[in-house]
Amino acid sequence: MKEPNYTLLCDYYELTMGNGYFEAGMADQITYFDIFFRQVPDHGGFAIAAGLEQAIEYIENLHFSEEDIAFLRNKGIFSEEFLSYLKHFQFSGDVWAVPEGTPIFPGEPILTVRAPAIEAQLLETFLLLTLNHQSLIATKANRIVRAANGRVVLEFGSRRAQGPDGAVLGARAAYIAGCAGTACTLTDQLYGVPAGGTMAHAWIQMFDDEYTAFKTYCELYPDNATLLVDTYNVLKSGIPNAIRAFREVLLPKGITKCGIRLDSGDITYLSKKARKMLDEAGFPQCQIVASNSLDEMIIRDILMQGAQVDLFGVGERLITSKSDPVFGGVYKLAAVENEQGEIIPKIKLSENVSKITNPHFKKVYRLFENQTGKAFADLICVHDEAVDDTQPIELFDPDYTWKRKTFTDFTAKELLVPVFSHGERVYPKFSTEEIKRYCAEQLDLLWDEVKRFENPHNYYVDLSQKLWDIKHQLLNEKKN
Amino acid sequence: MKEPNYTLLCDYYELTMGNGYFEAGMADQITYFDIFFRQVPDHGGFAIAAGLEQAIEYIENLHFSEEDIAFLRNKGIFSEEFLSYLKHFQFSGDVWAVPEGTPIFPGEPILTVRAPAIEAQLLETFLLLTLNHQSLIATKANRIVRAANGRVVLEFGSRRAQGPDGAVLGARAAYIAGCAGTACTLTDQLYGVPAGGTMAHAWIQMFDDEYTAFKTYCELYPDNATLLVDTYNVLKSGIPNAIRAFREVLLPKGITKCGIRLDSGDITYLSKKARKMLDEAGFPQCQIVASNSLDEMIIRDILMQGAQVDLFGVGERLITSKSDPVFGGVYKLAAVENEQGEIIPKIKLSENVSKITNPHFKKVYRLFENQTGKAFADLICVHDEAVDDTQPIELFDPDYTWKRKTFTDFTAKELLVPVFSHGERVYPKFSTEEIKRYCAEQLDLLWDEVKRFENPHNYYVDLSQKLWDIKHQLLNEKKN
């Protein structure tokens, strides 16, 4: 598919501000913007970054077509000089970001842009919506995968997604975060996420009776016969008919691998009954697939009750992150450069304390215990600081600064990596498969305590002393 | 923008079933599928249909490219004959649907497809996702507009939308349902939804002080100066600086129309204080814009407390329908034609009673009281029935059939209109503006009782006696 031109997928104010910077002679003013988020969805212990590849493609593709310029001219508020500038617009700045699949925590930059004001401002909406959307779905999908506790989870939600991209890119994010596949064919074609599925109720209704529908399906797809057994009555009709079809069509071919799908009713009760019937009929290898408005809470609950499910198809509650459908990433000015090229940190205060920003051009270190390999803290520093992990490090709580702790025997790793340098992409293009593998590796470096659904451990995200001092100096200056 | 090829945005099972119908000699079997939904989001009294235009464009565009065929061949399960069939695939069937902007109720068909099995089955995912998404956002947006009680509501949510389409098409749906505009520039370009906005905090931070930022903005946009006043301190700094900029820049030009925006803090308290300060400074015409995680419940609450807000910018809670982010439309087989062209009704039972379908090729009448013009019931009939509105009509509750009521002096109007006939679009292309106007007109035909947020009146959606009899005959046959 051809990349669409998303240049105008921006908030209108980005263009009026752009025109304003241009007219005020500030077009070349170098700015630093951070993306960070304030809260993990569903009160979880961590989120998973996703969507960077689409953000990169968007930046590479940025341009104003003749049509776009004409559309803007028609608004009657943009100067001709600014419109000429837009004609030749392309991104010339630098971007750093955390790789897709990285666990991320509130308050830390997950992407930083350094660019002239107009360019940096224009990226706001699209970068946010892409990272917010895919990080949301990745984070949710991983919760569901964790609840399934080793059983397979497939993404089945296209039909309830919020628009075509919601379906296609949502399935991509879900796969990165641990789902084994999707029902969405286009996500397979575009991103190599394996698509699969069973049958709709319509298939069964199309035949004179359920048995004929099952038999025909088994004859067509003997190697992949998963039969939907709840069109009429699961225990009285669906499973007996499925067993008969397996016996008559698959067994003569020597095939014992097969499946049934439950899409309504009490999954715990029905799956236990189904397991028993299938085992007794000689199909212990028959897999039981369950779907029907599942999420991590229901899956955890029915597994606790001994539900006999091998594979979960999860739809609407995954693809919309139904229990918490907003990932609140924001894009905030952190610094500007003056004419001498000095970086001047900027802060935004707020009536809401949680909306106060961390100023300056920053970098983030993730600190890992050498003994276990596990991550124990992230440290946000000023860009020109470096953590020396051969020396002990003292961390302190940025709100309760008397809470201090010294760590030794650790390894520090920078979290943000270069993505664009002077307008050129410098970040490799990873396959979805590679991102998925990286994500799994990174999740293994988190303590179980962070992965709990209820009251997860509050992972440390601290500021270096230097950054804390600069922030508080700015707070004291501005609050008067 | 070029239309993307969404043909493969289908659940994989639509293709395996399609191949199955093909191989089983059922490719030409005529089928009838309905889209309907089971529950109004947020326990509301009605929903608003939206997304039909995108569904139509999708159907018109349906085709399998060489690339698509190669991708499918690679799966190793589709017959060459089926792949050849797909090469020449185009939609040849009929579609009926309720026009966009129509209030809709649970259980009634809002779209019906009559087509050969493979074609009809292929449409499932995309039609659902498009109608589900836009109907969801239209329904939510209208709740927010109702809460604002005559004040302007703008859609500001792109950055938190679930993917690019979530932003662009969500803003379209929100406009149809009553929002006055959007922040999303692309929705303006593509769908004529007026885009507007103010400024980000970054604008203010870019200048040495807040006053200079405001003054510069007023000089650039004297006719449209809405100043964001919460970067540092709303009452001590933001509003005084805004007033000074209005006085020094706008008044000398004779301009008194201006605005301020509050984006944090207690909107009720701050807006009342702001109103007083602005009035006393001689700017009674200055509009107060409020944003910051608003929805219908917060808006209703702050207006009850006398908040002085003229215009609401509503973001994440609108564009994701945060409180209930799934619209549960389903696509179900309702009938097939036999070789003699007779229509054979089909039903799907379920362990969950609410998942049992209404069989048959149907039509829906909306019944309006002649005295008030208000709608009082929808009646689902078999396709060959006709309601004679010159005669009294007896309606009955489909579950509690002893609840019966006779109505006279009413007008019956068919709800679904032809959209495709023999594969050709026969439905006009309406502008977004026309759809918005139609939606407002149709909403005026609903009683206020249906529009309540809490315990809305349960609008009647009844079955004709003939349809009820057919349904119960099928239920009795199948349940054994």
The pLDDT, as a whole number, for residue A348 is: 84
Give the DSSP per-residue string, A346-400. -----SSGGGPPPPSSEEEEEEEETTT--EEEEEEEETT----TTS-EEEE-SSS
Residue-level pLDDT, tens digit, chain A, 480 residues: 445 789 999 999 999 999 999 999 999 999 999 999 999 999 999 999 999 999 999 999 999 999 999 999 999 999 999 999 999 999 999 999 999 999 999 999 999 999 999 999 999 999 999 999 999 999 999 999 999 999 999 999 999 999 999 999 999 999 999 999 999 999 999 999 999 988 999 999 999 899 999 999 999 999 999 999 998 899 999 999 999 999 999 999 999 999 999 999 999 999 999 999 999 999 999 999 999 889 999 999 999 999 999 999 999 999 999 999 999 999 999 999 999 999 999 988 876 777 789 999 999 999 999 999 999 999 999 999 999 999 999 999 998 999 999 999 999 999 999 999 999 999 999 999 999 999 999 999 999 999 999 999 999 999 999 999 999 999 988 764
- pLDDT of B350 > 80? The answer is no
CB contact under 8 A, A158 and B26: no
Average pLDDT over residues B356-383: 97
**Token pair listed for A359:** 């100023």
Pick the CATH number of B12-137+325-478 from 3.20.140.10, 3.90.650.10, 1.20.140.150, 3.30.710.10: 3.20.140.10
Distance CA(A46)–CA(A322), nearest Å, equals 18
pLDDT in tens, B17-44: 999 999 999 999 999 999 999 999 999 9
Residues of A in contact with B161 (CB under 8 A): 129, 133, 162
Decide: B327 and B135 in contact? Cβ < 8 Å.
yes
CB contact under 8 A, A20 and B186: no
Give the DSSP per-residue string, B316-345. HHHHTTTTS-----EEEEEEEE-TT--EEE
The pLDDT, as a whole number, for residue A3 is: 59
Q: For A290, phi and psi rounded to 5 degrees?
A: -120, 140
CB contact under 8 A, B163 and A186: no
Tell me which residue in B4, B68, B197 faces A11 most closely, judged by beta carbons.
B197
Residues of A in contact with B123 (CB under 8 A): none
Q: Which of A154, A137, A194, A173 is nearest to A311 (CA)?
A: A154
CB contact under 8 A, A117 and B71: no
**Token pair listed for A72:** 């803007």
Residue to mutate among B7, B10, B11, B124, with most A CBs inside 10 A, is: B11
- pLDDT of B322 > 50? The answer is yes
Give the pLDDT band (50/70/90) at residue B385: very high
Residue to mutate among B1, B9, B73, B322, with most A CBs inside 10 A, is: B9
List Cβ neighbours of A74 (8 Å cut-off, separation of 6 or more).
Answer: none
CB contact under 8 A, B16 and A270: no
Domains B12-137+325-478 and B147-319 share a fold: no
Average pLDDT over residues B91-96: 98
Residue to mutate among A36, A54, A71, A129, with most B CBs inside 10 A, is: A129
The whole-angstrom distance between A418's CA and the closest CA on chain B is 23
Residues of A in contact with B67 (CB under 8 A): 189
Distance CA(B199)–CA(A56), nearest Å, equals 25
The pLDDT, as a whole number, for residue A351 is: 67
Distance CA(B222)–CA(B249), nearest Å, equals 8
Q: How many CB pairs under 8 A join A and B?
A: 324
The whole-angstrom distance between A468's CA and the closest CA on chain B is 19
User: Domain coordinates of chain B in residue numbers?
Assistant: 12-137+325-478, 147-319
Q: For A9, phi and psi rounded to 5 degrees?
A: -80, 65
The pLDDT, as a whole number, for residue B163 is: 97
**Token pair listed for B171:** 């803003």
CB contact under 8 A, B17 and A167: no
The pLDDT, as a whole number, for residue B355 is: 79
Distance CA(A175)–CA(A192), nearest Å, equals 10
Decide: B319 and B183 in contact? Cβ < 8 Å.
no
The pLDDT, as a whole number, for residue B198 is: 82
Residue B417: beta bridge partners?
A: B97
The whole-angstrom distance between B45's CA and the closest CA on chain A is 21
Give the pLDDT band (50/70/90) at residue B1: very low
The pLDDT, as a whole number, for residue A69 is: 98
Average pLDDT over residues B293-321: 97
Give the C-alpha distances (Å, rounded to integers) separating B29 from A119, B7, B120.
56, 21, 10
Decide: B132 and A133 in contact? Cβ < 8 Å.
no
Kindly provide the residue ranges of all beta strands, DSSP E only, lying in A252-361, ordered along the sequence. Answer: 259-262, 287-290, 311-314, 330-337, 343-345
Q: What percent of chain B has pLDDT over 90?
A: 93
Distance CA(A11)–CA(A23), nearest Å, equals 19
Give the pLDDT band (50/70/90) at residue B348: confident
- pLDDT of B2 > 60? The answer is no
Decide: B258 and B250 in contact? Cβ < 8 Å.
yes
- pLDDT of B444 > 90? The answer is yes
The pLDDT, as a whole number, for residue A4 is: 72
Per DSSP, the three-state class of B444 is helix
Tell me which residue in B136, B160, B184 faces A326 most closely, judged by beta carbons.
B160
Q: For A369, phi and psi rounded to 5 degrees?
A: -65, 130
List Cβ neighbours of B369 (8 Å cut-off, separation of 6 or more).
Answer: B375, B376, B409, B410
Distance CA(B109)–CA(B331), nearest Å, equals 10
- pLDDT of B478 > 80? The answer is no
CB contact under 8 A, A186 and B10: yes
Pick the CATH number of B147-319 from 1.10.150.20, 3.40.50.1820, 3.50.50.60, 3.20.20.70: 3.20.20.70
Supply the mean pLDDT for chain B.
95
pLDDT in tens, B65-89: 999 999 999 999 999 999 999 999 9
Shortest CA distance from B76: residue in chain A: A221
Residues of B in contact with A336 (CB under 8 A): 206
**Token pair listed for A108:** 């830390």
Shortest CA distance from B126: residue in chain A: A159
Shortest CA distance from B187: residue in chain A: A9
CB contact under 8 A, A169 and B163: yes
Across A285-311, b (16+ Cβ under 10 Å) vs e yields ebbbbbbbebbbebbbebbeeebbbeb
The CATH architecture of the domain made up of A12-138+325-478 is Alpha-Beta Barrel (3.20)
pLDDT in tens, B268-292: 999 999 999 999 999 999 999 999 8
Per DSSP, the three-state class of A102 is coil
**Token pair listed for B389:** 């509105």
Give the pLDDT band (50/70/90) at residue B194: very high
Q: Which DSSP category does A184 fall into?
A: B
Decide: A77 and A407 in contact? Cβ < 8 Å.
no
